[in-house]
Amino acid sequence: MDVDSTVKGFYEQILQRNAGEPEFHQAVSEVLASLRYVLRKDPHYADNGLIQRLTEPERQIIFRVPWIDDQGQVQVNRGFRVQFNSVLGPYKGGLRFHPSVNLGIIKFLGFEQIFKNSLTGLPIGGGKGGSDFDPKGKSDMEIMRFCQSFMTELERHIGDKVDVPAGDIGVGGREIGYLFGQYRRMTGRHVSGTLTGKGLTWGGSLVRTEATGYGCVYFTQEMMASRGDRLHGAKVIISGSGNVAIYAIEKAQELGATVVAFSDSSGYVSTPDGVDVELLRDIKEVRRLRVSDYVKETNGATFHKGGNIWETEADVALPCATQNELDGEAAKLLADHGVKYVAEGANMPCTHDAIQVFKKRKIDFAPGKAANAGGVATSALEMQQNASRDSWTFEYTDKRLRDIMRNIFKNAARTAEDYDVPRDFVVGANIAGFKKVADAMIAQGVI
């Protein structure tokens, strides 16, 4: 088999069948590039339409979400749930509420989720959903009415054995509460395993809030330790200031690093003496303000309006904001400034060009499907607790998370070595995630 032309053929079909979805093309093309290594050794993975089936969602749901704003006006948004692959378990993945959401974005996120969830080692399939609803500036009651309308349609498509949504950008504890309330009211049942990221008194898990950020730092620790380095004393850039960034900052600093910059879409804050996490959490999560407000309430921090966070000097960079926030030029800046490690806390924050620069400049790079898998892994631990009507301690759950992240690192590193590309964690994670899903798909027949 001529692997290169076979893979090229698959990709051309993808472009044709999914026109106008550049983020989905990007996510698929990255996985296909890794699969060349697999197909050279094991060409049977191209048989029986496996690649075509893997890149075609099992089900895509698009629905109208009408709601009434505080002025009494009707607003109409679009809701999505892409149920991508359920070969390993019920569809699992978050909901994103952001004006940039469209079908292509949800498909890219759902596709990534398949391999990420496979890497966790837990029995969860891949899915993703959301809406182009913009939560920014909305009142609490508007958020509630929107969530209730969204769930009124989504309810018939989800369930603890079917599809288990959770949070993502724009969807946190408050939104999960309103969504769960409406689900419970509509079904007349308290089935806690239907959503994850719930409040602690009604089926939520300790550590779930912290898990994506903590997990990304645990992964970074493993990657550094494999070179004899450690976070203690290191300078770290963490972009973003949402749920992932906040807890990545907290854990990195707990381990003795100094977080020298964080950001939001308006600019970045440089913090040469480190970040006051309590203040940041209060500003972002309680008062729902912007990062520019952080500098008004503390000393030694400066706000760079519209600035480029990647021009900061550091040893480690953790992009934790959103897709394609770090391009080739930014990657060169990081390399010139001495960054040695990059791990993605967000989903696909580094462009293809950025990843090429990291490779050329010998920077260790951890892709999101490995480095940010801690969130969904802890969601699966929440499902386990719900199924057994139990709740675990913080220490026990955190240890489970740490072990999962260590195993993902080992698995990605070992797989990269097996395919003769040592320390290529992109190839390692893609292949390790893929093989488990592909073997299960082969075992379960052409579905």
For the annotated catalytic residues, the residue numbers are 128
Name the 3-class secondary structure at 171.
strand
Instruction: Compose the 306-345 pattern: x for residues touching ligand GLU by CB under 6 A, - for all others.
Output: ----------------------------------------
Instruction: List the one residue from 182, 347, 411, 430 that touches ligand GLU (CB under 6 A).
Output: 347
Tell me if 131 contacts ligand GLU by CB under 6 A. no
User: With the C-alpha atoms ordered 438, 441, 442, 447, is the resulting torsion angle positive or negative?
Assistant: negative
Smallest separation (angstroms) from ligand GLU to the CB of 163: 10
- Report 101-120 residues binding ligand GLU (CB under 6 A): 116
Counting beta carbons within 10 angstroms of the beta carbon of residue 305, is it exposed (0 to 12), middle (13 to 18) or buried (19 or more)? exposed
Distance CA 300, CA 348 (A): 32
Residue with Cβ nearer ligand GLU (161 or 360): 161
Closest among 165, 149, 193 to 81, alpha carbons compared: 165
Kindly tell me which residue out of 93, 135, 170, 213 binds ligand GLU, with binding defined by CB under 6 A.
93
Kindly write out the interface string for residues 139-168 of this chain, putting x where it contacts ligand GLU by CB under 6 A and - elsewhere.
---------------------------x-x
Site string for ligand GLU, 73-92 (x = CB under 6 A): -------------------x
271 Cβ neighbours under 8 A, 6+ residues apart:
259, 260, 261, 262, 300, 301
Q: 28 or 171, CB closer to ligand GLU?
A: 171
Binding letters toward ligand GLU, positions 2-41, x by CB under 6 A: ----------------------------------------
285's tokens:
């999560």
How many angstroms separate the CA atoms of 175 and 179, rounded? 6
- Assess 126 for contact with ligand GLU (CB under 6 A): no
> Angle at the Cα of 309 (from 304 to 310), degrees rounded to 5?
150
Q: Do residues 54 and 134 lie in contact, with contact meaning Cβ atoms separated by under 8 Å?
A: no
**Binding footprint of ligand GLU, residue count (CB under 6 A):** 11
**Which of 203, 196, 244 is closest to 95 using CA atoms?**
196
Least distance (Å) between residue 104 CB and ligand GLU: 16
Residue with tokens 């949504």: 165
Whole-angstrom distance, CA of residue 250 vs CA of residue 365: 21
Sort strands 267-270 and 302-305 into parallel, antiparallel or unpaired: antiparallel
Q: Which is nearer to ligand GLU, 319 or 333 (CB)?
A: 319
Residue closer to ligand GLU, measured from CB, 166 or 339: 166
255 token code pair: 């381990």
- Please report, as residue ranges, which positions from 368 to 407 form the binding site for ligand GLU (by CB under 6 A): 375-376, 379
Tell me the CA distances in angstroms from 394 to 76, 175, 213, 249, one per residue in order.
Answer: 41, 23, 15, 19
Q: Which is nearer to ligand GLU, 166 or 248 (CB)?
A: 166
* Phi, then psi, of 349 in degrees rounded to 5: -70, -20
Structure tokens, 149? 């309308």
Say whether residue 192 binds ligand GLU (CB under 6 A).
no
Minimum distance, C-beta of residue 269 to ligand GLU, in the bound complex (Å)? 24
The distance of closest approach from Cβ of residue 423 to ligand GLU in the complex, given in angstroms and rounded to an integer, is 24
Closest to ligand GLU by CB, 92 vs 284, is: 92
194 touches ligand GLU (CB under 6 A): no
Site residues (vs ligand GLU, CB under 6 A):
92-94, 116, 166, 168, 196, 347, 375-376, 379
